[in-house]
Structure 1
Amino acid sequence: MPSDYAEPKEPNAPQVVDKYQLANLLSLKVSWIEERCRRRLIPHLLIAGQYRFTQAHITEIISMHERRPVAEPAAAQQRHAQQSPPGLVAPLRNRGLPTHRLRRPNGAS
């Protein structure tokens, strides 16, 4: 069965993947990976001008882009409950015309 990892020559050598294998593994565009590597936003190895990634790099890339749910503080929940009953929407305030966009008549300064 083929693997995305190159077979290491030594038993303790770390397995590495190239940018194409990483793109396939994470369902990303190669250009996304290249741009992030060039800007040093994701961890990688640069060997002979080629980007390579170890399993530790892949795990870190995934964890860097993980989003966790944020629980609302109890005080904020109470404030939202006290502001208005459900279904009631506050009216919008009329701000008038923006003065910086009004044209002045010719001759006026």
Structure 2
Amino acid sequence: MKVRQQITDLPQLYSAADVAQALRCSEWWVKEQARRGRIPFTKPGGSYRFTVEHVAEIMRIFERRPTESVGTAVPAPRAPRRRTATTPVPVTSLKARTPRRARYSQSQSTAA
């Protein structure tokens, strides 16, 4: 009975699809975040698996809290940044080539 008790003590593991459904996102997103090391996971047998603690940590990682208290003024949007003056780059003017048809007719007229 001791072996059976140890097996039941193991944490429940959830697949990426289960986590994606719980978080209401795509399975691809969950796997990509795990692959990039942005979320906690375990990988027994080569597939991403998640415990309840992992899912809770994922929710904490992506949690956003208000930074300002209610009633404070919202800062005005910043003006777009302008390019700073740089040293001028020398400009090379381009010249179009004479069309092939015109070049061919010029060589025929000079040869005759």
Quickly name the TM-score band, shorter chain normalised.
0.5 to 0.7
TM-score (ref. length: structure 2): 0.56
Q: Quick one: distance in 1 between partners of 2:86 and 2:47?
A: 56
| Aligned with 1:52 (options 49, 52, 58) | 49
Residue matched to 1:4: none
Partner letter of residue 49 of structure 2? Answer: R
Q: Answer 1 or 2: which has greater helix percent.
A: 2
State the TM-score, normalizing by the size of structure 1.
Answer: 0.57
Aligned pairs for 1:1-109 (under 5 A) are: 10-71=7-68
In the TM superposition, structure 1's runs of 4+ consecutive aligned residues that sit over 3 Å from their partners are none
Q: CA deviation at 1:13?
A: 1.6
Tell me which amino acid in the other structure corresponds to 2:12.
Q
Equivalent residue for 1:3? none
Which structure: larger Rg?
2
User: What is the rounded CA distance, in whole Å, between the counterparts of 2:15 and 2:57 in structure 1?
Assistant: 16
Percentage of pairs with the same residue: 32
Q: Could you list the runs of 5+ residues in structure 1 that have no partner in the other structure?
A: 1-8, 81-91
Q: CA-atom RMSD, angstroms?
A: 3.3
Question: Which sections of structure 2, spanning at least 5 residues, go unmatched?
Answer: 1-5, 94-112
